[in-house]
Every structure is written in C-alpha cells, then in structure tokens.
Amino acid sequence: MKNSCVLLLLLLTLKVSTGRPAFAQTRPADSLRRLLSTQPRADTMRVRRLHALINELAANNTPQAIGLSKQALTLSRRLADTVGIGRSLLWLSILHRRQEQFAAARHYTIQARELFARSHDRRREARACMELSLIDVQQSQSTSALAWALRGLPLAEQAQDVGLQAQLRGTIGSIYYQIGDYASALPMLRTALRDGQQLGDLQVVSAVLNNLASLYQTQRKWSQARRYYQRAVTVSRQMGDVQNEISNEIGLAEVYAEQGNQTRAWEHSQQARILMRTSGDYYNLPAVELMLARAFLLNRQPDSAVVLAQRGMQLSQMTRRNGSISNAADILAQAHAALGDFKAAYEHQRLFSSYQDTLAGETTQRQTSALRYGYELDKKQNQIALLNQTRQLQIQKSARQRQQLYALLAGLAGTVLLAGLLWRNVYIKQRANRHLNEKNAEIARQRDDLTRALAELKAAQNQLIQREKMASLGELTAGIAHEIQNPLNFVNNFSEVSVELVEEFMDGPWQQLPEAEKAYATELLASLTQNLQKITQHGHRADGIVKGMLQHSHVSSGERDAIDLNALVAEHLAMAYQGFRAQHHDFSATLTSNLDAQVPKVLLVPQDVGRVLLNLFANAFYTLLERLSRDEPDYAPVLTVLTKRLPGEVQIRVHDNGLGMSEEIQSKIFQPFFTTKPPGEGTGLGLSLSYDIIVKGHGGTLTVSSREGQGTEVTIGLPC
C-alpha cells in the first residue's frame, strides 16, 4: 500500500493549499468571473479574487487555473504585494506538480520560500517547505523529501500553527514508512492523528489512518491493519472522498488476501472496482490489478497472475510509480518460477531487487538517519543556548543586586555617621548581612540547578548519539539479512523444483532407457536427489538463521504495561505445552506450578517477555523429549515453574529434569548462533534474543544453572 500512501499525501495538498476539499463549484466560479469583469480595478482585492477563482478551477481546469495564477503573480509584483506574490507562486507550483512538471513546480516553490524567509513569515515558509517535500515524494526522492519536511516542522512550531504541524508530521511519518523506518514512522503518525482529531481535520485524519494501516499491514499485524483501514473508510465516506475510499478498500482487500481469506478480499476488491467505475478514478487501477494478481498466485493460478501483473506493471510504468513496478516485478518473478520459466523469473527478480534498493536502500537509510539526528540535535542545542542565556541573565541580576546592596550599605553608613546612633548601625548591618547570605544561597542554588540541567542535556545528547549508532548497526544487520534472503529463497525454490524434475524424469523418460543403462541412471538420479534434499535442508536451516537475525536486530517499540506476572507465566506455559504436543503427539510431561501470590504487577512489555517464556518452555520440553527417547528405567519427565517476590525484584524459575548441560556449553549458551540441537532444529538465536529482551530491554537478569544428566534451571529476574 505504499503507493496509496503517496496518493493520500498528494490529495492532502489540496487541503493544505486551499483550506477545503477540491470539487467543482460552478456558481461561485461564475460569481467571481462577474466580479472580475465588472470591477477591473488593479488592486490587492483583485488579486484575492483571482486566487479564489483559481481555487475553484484547480481541480477541473488546470490550464485555465495556471493562466489566472500568472495574472495574479504579475499584478502582485506590480503592487509589491508580498502575500499575493507568495500565494501566486505556491499555486503555480501546486498546479505544475499535478501535471508532473516537477522542474517548473520546484522553481516556483523555491522563489516562494525565499520570499517568505526574507519577510520572516514562518507559517508560509513552512508551507513552501512542505510543497518542496511533496514534489520530492512524487519523484520518489525520499532523502530530499524528508529534509524539506524536517526543515518546515520547526517553522510551523515557531508559528504555532497546529494544523500545519499535523500535516507536516503526517508527511514525515509517511516518508519514514516509505523507506522502511517503522520505528520512527509510528510516533510521528500517532502524533499527527491526535492533532488532526483535536482540530477536526478529516483530511489529515484520513491520510494518517491509511498510513498507520499500511504500516501495520507491512508488519503483518492484521487486526490493527484492518481496524485502521475500516476507520479510514468511514472517514472518507463522511467527507465524500471517493479516491481515499478506493485506496482503503484496496488495503482491506490486500490484508484479507494475505491472510488467505479470499472471499472477503474479493468483496473489497469488487467494491473498489465499483467505486472506480462510478467516479472515473483509474489512479488506483494498478493497485487493484496487482492485488488480484497476488490472489491468483496464492490460489496457485500463475497464468492468470502473470496476465494481471503484466497489465499492472504497464499502468505503473505509464504513471512512473516505482512502488507498483516493484510489486509487479515480485509477482511476475514468483509466477514465472511457478510456471517453470526460470529465465523470466530471474529477470523480474533482478528488477524487483533494483527497485527495492531504490526505494529503501542502505544509503537512503543512512541519510535519513543523519537528517533525523540533525533535527534532534538542533533542538537540544537550542535548549542549551537558552539555558546559557538564562544563566548569563542571572549573573547580571546578581551583580546588580550586589551593587544595590553596596549602595544601601554606603547610605546606611552615612546615616549612621550623621545620626550617631550606634545601636541602629549594628542592627542595619546584621540585617544587610542576613539578606546578603540569603541572596548568595539563592544564587548558589540557581547555579547548581543550571549546572545539573546542563549535565543532563549533555548526557541526553550522548545517549542520542549512542542510540543512533546502535540503530545504524541494527539497520546494517537487517540489511545484510534481507540481501541474503532473496538468493536463499531462490536456492530453496530451485532445489525443490529440481527434485520435482528428477521425479518427473523417473516417471517418464527413465522408463525408455535400455535396461543396461537404467541401473547406472538410477544410481546417478538417487545421488542427485539426495544432494538436492541436502541443499533444501541446509537452505531452510539458513533461512531460519536469517529470520533469527532479523528478529535479533529488531528493536522493540512496544509500550510497557503493569502486568499480572503469574497470569502471564501460566498462560504461556499452557500455550507452549499445547504447541509442543501438537508437534510431538506421543509426548507428555508432568507440569508443576508454584506461583507466589505476593508477586505484584510488573511494568514490562508483555509480548517480549511472553516470547522469552515460550522459548524457555520449548527448550525445556525439547530436552525432556530427548531424555525420554533414551528409554531410561523409572524416568518421568517433569517441568517445574516457580515465581517468587524478592526485595527489589521478582523471579521466574523454569526447572526441568532433562539431559542437562556441561559447564563448557553453559558458558556459550547466550552467544548468537550457538545451539546444541541437531542441524535443522534450531538457529541458535532464541536464548540470545531472550537475553537481550530481559537484560538490555528490561534491566533484569537471565542465568542458567545445569548439571549433566540431572536437568537445568533457568532464572529470570525482573525489577519491580
């Protein structure tokens, strides 16, 4: 749905530029024409009427709107009307961008931005920055688009224009999503949605809801994706915005198709087609064609998938939509591979990879990370400068107070000399000293507060730099894993296809060989089949490692909640036992739970800790099954789970009477890729990821105690 997100951003510019939805309004346009004809006086009022007429004609008569914008620009320059010049330039930019004349659009917008910057009009300068960002978005120039949007956001904040801030944050969040930076996209989009709802701005709300739905769809969080798409459909219908409604219906169809619910997917795709026919909107036609092509591919109808995907690619190439071209190439590669046309599959896979690199390459990720870091660093530096200025003002105030105090003392001394009253002189001096000590103490406290604030800011800055370094390392790991994934998929696919070809040969041409050659051919084909099966086995092993690397490099963005730890442990123990027995029907074990009722609710991310518990329980069941398979007399598998409240923390202990581990294995158990399981049964990343979640993510402890032949105990400590 990335192309739909871009469309929603571009539709949002009508709201940004005109202040209301773009639709034909014949009567207001005719009234404005009559006013311009009957009142030909060349003044600023005529400029405003020209802009109002441009607003009415922009959606349906772009050439005439461009001509009127040029008239307004000429008249504004003659009148030296700065606001009129800027608005005329922005209208020319928007109208040329809609006609995909990007060079002219950029030229007019840059002129408008420079004009607003010279006149210190922060609000309109921010609008010009947003227009430049949208021009780059439409050309798939993510880095430049993000730079302009981040440049415009502080200007909108200075102008205190909450509506423009919401639009810019929606744009920034959409760009982050386009380049795959979901961790940065989510908070931006949520903030934009909150502001749009508070302002009652349905255009912003509709666009952000679609972006959030697409983000959750990409992360395969189906329930959240469906909920946001359905909300977006409702808002689009409230506004009468058919284009957005079509886009969201397509999104719902894609979600249901990816979940395998072809009936619901077909219903929503048909609804999208009906809306397109009734409204005459064919912008979304490539997305509908590609969605149906993927549905045919999932239903194992590659011939139909090829026809629809080729048509979708042709339409996407005509409109220069790189995201749709990439999607079409991916579908064609899989469909041709299913048909056995591996040459065509390889060519389309190369095309898909090149577009993926263009849309979200490593260079783009580094550049956008640098832009985001620069934006955050500028905010911190501004805070530091403000604190330094406050400290200087305080020092000056203290100096003035000291001068005033000295003058007061001098005056009092003169009064004492003139009056000759020694007792009054002593009293006045004592009072002055007390006041001076209080002022000094107050100044010292303020100085200490400023020093502490500056230290905290420096620590926050260092933490931000370290976080960016870790994020870059995670992005590098994820990038490497993604690059390995594509060739690995081809290895697995082609090895499986090759096994099928050998079986077809054994069923067909092999029967026609002379009996003297059959034995030799059989031996060769058996060896070839065995080699291909080994390739498949180790390919799936490598695929598991790559997925583990992706999961290991993922930084959880879940929010912490106060969770009943005993309920969480009991729920995941039952879940793990049922799942293990589903794979090993003959396995059974005695489960013993001793859950401390005094354990309080713990602040944690339930999804992450639940994943750790599932991994520990699965490992315990595995070692119990291994020992059970040795047929030891009087052996009964037992798994014991305990929770306990301790001072400052709660503990979860998982004890099994399985095979146990040696000290050498225990020293390596938390290392990535280290596993004691046979090849194909483990990636070696489960305990490493569990260690990161508990120790690094929650500030807890994770330890293992084991003896060979007697069992293993894993202890989790969580702060409370």
Q: Which residue's entry shows tokens 């998982």? A: 654
Q: What pLDDT, on a 0 to 100 scale, did the predictor assign at position 653?
A: 94
Give the model's confidence band at 114: pLDDT under 50 very low, under 70 low, under 90 confident, else very high.
Answer: very high
Which pLDDT value is given to residue 460? 57
Residues in the chain: 720
Measured from the Cβ of residue 543, the count of other Cβ atoms closer than 10 Å reads 17
Lowest mean pLDDT among 224-233, 512-521, 707-716: 512-521
pLDDT at 37: 82
| Tokens standing for residue 559 | 């929010």
563 three-state secondary structure: strand
Most confident of 10-14, 504-508, 696-700, 701-705: 701-705
Place of tokens 């006045």: 428
pLDDT band at 89 (very low <50, low <70, confident <90, very high): very high
Work out the pLDDT band at 299, boundaries 50, 70, 90. Answer: low
The radius of gyration computed from the CA coordinates of the chain, to the nearest angstrom, equals 34
CA 687 – CA 247 distance, rounded (Å)? 42
**Dist. CA 481–CA 487, nearest whole Å:** 11
Residue 13 pLDDT > 60: no
pLDDT band at residue 494 under the 50/70/90 scheme: confident
CA distance 175 to 644: 47
pLDDT at 449: 85
pLDDT at 378 > cutoff 60: no
Read off the pLDDT of each residue in 376-404 and give the average, rounded to a whole number: 59
pLDDT at 659 over 80: yes
188: CB partners within 8 A, 6+ apart: 169, 170, 172, 173, 176
pLDDT of residue 8 exceeding 60, the answer is no
Structure-token pair, residue 476: 């590098």
Q: What would the mean pLDDT of 587-602 be, rounded to a whole number?
A: 90
- Please tell me the distance from the alpha carbon of residue 244 to that of residue 232, in angstroms, as a whole number: 8
Chain mean position to CA 363: 17
Q: Which of 440-454, 459-473, 609-623 has the lowest mean pLDDT?
A: 459-473
Give me the DSSP letters along 660-705: ---HHHHHHTTSTT---SPTTS--S-HHHHHHIIIIIIHS-EEEEE
Q: pLDDT value at position 712?
A: 92
pLDDT in tens, 316-357: 666 555 566 777 777 777 877 778 777 777 677 777 776 665
- Count CA atoms closer than 13 A to 608's CA, side-chain side: 24
pLDDT score of 361 more than 70: no
Tell me the three state secondary structure of residue 156.
helix
- Which of 2-16, 389-403, 427-441, 511-525 is modeled with the greatest confidence? 427-441
When mean pLDDT is compared across 261-275, 295-309, 331-345, the lowest value belongs to 295-309
Q: Which residue has the tokens 């002219």?
A: 104
Q: What pLDDT was estimated at residue 430?
A: 84
User: Is 641 in contact with 596 (CB distance < 8 Å)?
Assistant: no
Q: Cα(660)–Cα(679) distance, rounded to whole angstroms? A: 19
User: How do residues 176-201 score in pLDDT, each as one tens digit?
Assistant: 888 888 888 889 889 988 998 898 88
Angle, CA of 201, 205 and 211, to the nearest 5°: 150
Give the helix, strand, coil percentages of the chain, each rounded to 5. Answer: 75, 5, 15
pLDDT 10s digits, 507-551:
777 667 676 676 777 777 778 888 877 787 777 766 666 665 555
Q: Do residues 73 and 95 touch, judged by C-beta distance below 8 A?
A: no
User: Across residues 283-303, what is the average pLDDT?
Assistant: 69
SS3 track for 45-83: HHHHHHHHHHHHHCCCCHHHHHHHHHHHHHHHHHHCCHH
Does residue 285 or residue 341 have the better pLDDT? 341
Number of helices (H) and strands (E) in the chain: give both, helices first.
26, 7
Q: What's the rounded Cα separation, in Å, for the pair 370 and 380? A: 15
pLDDT value of position 470: 46
Residue pair 185/173 in contact (Cβ under 8 Å)? The answer is yes
CA atoms within 13 A on the CB side of 262: 9
pLDDT confidence band for 4 (50 / 70 / 90): very low
Which pLDDT belongs to residue 713? 93
pLDDT at 546: 62
Mean pLDDT of the chain: 77
Q: Are 643 and 565 in contact (CB under 8 A)?
A: yes
| pTM as predicted | 0.45
**Any idea which residue has 């011939």 for tokens?**
303
Angle, alpha carbons 576-581-655 (nearest 5°):
50
Residue 643: the pLDDT is 94
Measure Cα distances from 309 to 313, 326, 341, 575 in Å: 6, 11, 16, 41
How far is the C-alpha of 182 from the C-alpha of 2, rounded, in Å? 13
* Topology adopted by domain 561-719: Heat Shock Protein 90 (3.30.565)
Confidence of residue 43 (pLDDT cuts 50, 70, 90): confident
- Which distant-in-sequence residues (6+ apart) come within 8 Å of 417 by Cβ? none
Q: Are strands 711-719 and 561-563 parallel, antiparallel or unpaired?
A: unpaired
Phi/psi for 373 (5° steps) reads -65, -40
Which residue shows structure tokens 């870059």? 472
User: For residue 639, which of 667, 671, 616, 669 has the smallest C-alpha distance?
Assistant: 616
